[in-house]
Amino acid sequence: MRWAQQFEEVTWLDSNEYPQTYTSYDAILAVDAFTVLRTDETEAFAKLSEYQQTTKDWLFGYLSYDLKNNVENLTSKNKDGLEFPELYFFQPKRLFLLKGNVVEVQYLNMVDDEMDSDFEAISQTNFSEEFTLQTHQVIIKSKITKFEYLESVKTFLNHIQRGDIYEANFCQEFYDNKAAIAPLPVYEKLNEISKAPFAAFLKFESCYALSTSPERYIKKEGDRVITQPIKGTAKRSQNIDEDLAGIAALERDQKERSENIMIVDLVRNDLSKTAVKGSVNVEELCRVYSFKQVHQMISTVTSKVERTTDPVSILRTTFPMGSMTGAPKVSALQIIEELETSKRGLYSGAIGYFTPEGDFDFNVVIRSILYNQKRNYISYTVGSAITAKSVPEKEYEECLLKAKAMRQVLEK
């Protein structure tokens, strides 16, 4: 990773050896673009489909949340401090696939004569060298006050009581618009704290995503599609008995279970749009997984697709992911846009890759620090699901719990 920082385009995906199923690689590093697709929301999925079908190669990049406007008749008018492109993918010249004790290396023909010198340079990298975490004190501010947050939650509850929606994911941004950080060591520190199964470091030009996401958005492998929405959070304890009690309480929590089940119904409907008839299946419902910072309630839903199905169409018909929107999805998206004050952009979008065969794997961009070095703007956003049983104060506390690791890294 330190060697890779010389390149304009870098994607590092890391499972952190988390004991989960469905993982193809322990980690992947892709660097140095041969071709690039970057675009706004206009016909974004069509452009991505053409790019994927034309290259038929490994592609790495992201989908921003606001591609919702390319899927439905929606708009994004909230303030955007980061100014990332809505969609960005690149075809790497150099690729490293890590699984167990094996590293598979793939270089495009134009650079394959540089492989030996690259490995020599990697072997000479000083891994003991200490990086400075930041070059300017980061002072995190909230885009909205606690009072404004609580009032917005009450407005969501009014929509729920009227029957406009059943559930919605409401998010708030924390930021510093005079920030200067060293992205890689900040990511390394954040990842050390979280050890999440869908961690990612993404760099292109002056834009960075430092993600320690625990959530898979969607994966395609052959004719099988897997999605694993998270809904339900409980804090961890260093006391073993208290920690086990926290797991048991989360498993029994009817409010958290109802959140999760609503989203499972939503993603089942989304998957059915491209699935072979009768193939959508809930493999796990409301299972609690433990991570370093929190316990999370996760469900696993799968489907089968025809081999001829355009892989990008599977993304388009399931995007944005249900766990970050609400139900019914379009109504929730409209209300979210009205009540949130910041454009989400890459937050609650997805980072991942396509294989040459048209398979893919994408995370959900949560528990992530986003940084535009050119604009000196750093941001992280957190949210929670609002349902009829939500207590505004508790939802605010859940947001602060999810933000803890990111704030700790940035303000230390």
Full-model pTM: 0.95
Residue 131 has pLDDT above 60, yes or no: no
pLDDT tens per residue, range 162-211: 999 999 999 999 999 999 999 999 999 999 999 999 999 999 989 999 99
Catalytic residue among 47, 231, 329, 343: 231
**What distance in Å separates the CA atoms of residue 148 and residue 331, rounded to the nearest whole number?**
22
Measure the CA dihedral 25/30/36/38, to 10°: 70
Tokens of 143: 């885009």
Annotation says 205 is catalytic: no
Catalytic residue among 9, 188, 215, 337: 215
| CATH class assigned to 3-411 | alpha beta
User: Of 334, 353, 320, 264, which is closest to residue 75 (Cα–Cα)?
Assistant: 334
Tokens of 327: 């139900």
Does residue 236 contact residue 288 with C-beta atoms inside 8 Å? no
SS3 326: strand
Does residue 159 contact residue 165 with C-beta atoms inside 8 Å? yes
User: Of 74, 358, 381, which is closest to residue 225 (Cα–Cα)?
Assistant: 358
**Residues 91-119, mean pLDDT to the nearest whole number:** 96
The pLDDT value given to residue 368: 98
Domain ranges of the chain: 3-411
Annotation says 231 is catalytic: yes
- Please report which helix (H) or strand (E) contains residue 259, including its range: helix 254-272
> DSSP secondary-structure letter at 334?
H
Listed in sequence order, the residues at least 6 apart from 316 whose beta carbon sits closer than 8 Å to its beta carbon are: 45, 70, 71
**Residues 61-65, mean pLDDT to the nearest whole number:** 98
